[in-house]
Amino acid sequence: MKNQKASVLLYAMQLAPQNGLFVEIGCIREDHEVATDGYSTVYMSKYCKNLDLRFVSVDNQEKNVVMANKVLEKEGLKPEVITEDGKKFLEYEDAISFLYLDSHRHPQYSYDQYINSELAEGAVVAIDDAQPYDDHELGKATQLVELFEVEGISWRLIPTEPGFSMVVAKFPRGKKHGMLS
């Protein structure tokens, strides 16, 4: 069963260069699909497997990583989830084609992860839970959208389910580690 959040995620992935590395920061936290979680790790892994793309999911909670890898194996997929701080992981990866930011609720985490990433030409960044909460107009995406506006980065806010949205941004020229855009 594919929910609306999964459909938006798959759409965003198709906008990215179909080579290179696809990265998820913040893996699934349920062993079955629920609308509020979206089953992103499974959808991303299947997508990348079908196109022979490199995929890795990063989460800093060992229990989430163990569960997510068991779900991937149950689905006939490689266990591609690792335990690591997303910001630190991104510091050492080169030229990411697709970056899905779905970890901590506070927008500073997404911002820091983005800053540490290196994006390939044409890369796409998607930020989940981009709806108002905790005094943040666009949830996890608030600080990044403000930066995108200043930097002239093209982005869209796409509804994923009632009351929830995802920001999808495109980087035609890519981005180097530590740079804003």
The verdict on pTM exceeding 0.85 is yes
Assigned domain for 52 exists? yes
Assigned domain for 179 exists? no
* 61: CATH: 3.40.50.150
Assigned domain for 123 exists? yes
**For residue 130, with 0-12 CB atoms within 10 Å meaning exposed, 13-18 middle and 19 or more buried, which class applies?**
buried
Domains in the chain: how many in total?
1
| Cα→Cα distances 140→45, 116, 134, 144, Å | 23, 16, 10, 8
Assigned domain for 177 exists? no
Assigned domain for 128 exists? yes
Assigned domain for 26 exists? yes
Q: What is the dihedral of CA 98, 4, 134, 167, to 10 degrees?
A: 30
What is the chain's alpha carbon radius of gyration, rounded to the nearest angstrom? 15
pLDDT in tens, 17-40: 999 999 999 988 877 777 666 689
pLDDT in tens, 47-100: 999 999 999 999 999 999 999 999 999 999 999 999 999 989 998 888 999 999
Give the distance, in angstroms, between the CA of residue 134 and the centroid of all CA atoms in the same chain. 21
